[in-house]
Amino acid sequence: MPIENEKIKIALYMLDGPCLIVEHPTGVEYTNQTNGIFIQHRDIEGYIVPVTVRTKKLPDIFNPMWWELNGPCERWMNPLSKRIENDPNYHYDNNEAIAWAIERWFQKEAKGSVFALEVLKDHDNTEAWYHVQVKFFESDEWHKAILTWENCD
């Protein structure tokens, strides 16, 4: 029998693609290993919303191998920055570039119950853990969430 006020903890270590954890008092906490080889375990209470896509091809940033090969340094953005450096609204910053790429990909490829996604600026954003806000279909309300995926390590 669960102890009163004790949360159920669910590990998301073997995800098959990105998902959202929408912040909400559910009594269920989701945890994921993040930040590559630095191995940080982060968690949030809420509920899972799968991110479904129109094509099976996910951008490189959701591929754990991309993070492992490109590492947490300036050169890690090279494969991605080649695709986005020509945009007039783009200003180079690792987290900003990744946030920009996530939002652009979501606008083009995501389908399902999530209508809109915006990456929030947060010093805590890292591989496999990005703070976002989402709108669901038939709702004007924004909800805070975490966009997470399989970590490279």
Please give the average pLDDT of every successive group of 10 residues along the chain, which has 153 residues: 79 89 97 84 95 76 74 47 50 69 84 83 88 89 94 79
Q: What is the pLDDT of residue 45?
A: 98
Domain edges within the chain? 8-148
Q: What is the pLDDT of residue 46?
A: 98
Q: Which parts of the chain fold into alpha helices (H)?
A: 64-70, 78-84, 94-109
DSSP 35: S
Q: What is the pLDDT of residue 91?
A: 42
DSSP bridge pairs for 30:
10, 44
Q: What is the pLDDT of residue 139?
A: 84
Q: Which parts of 29-152 fold into alpha helices (H)?
A: 64-70, 78-84, 94-109
Q: What is the pLDDT of residue 142?
A: 95
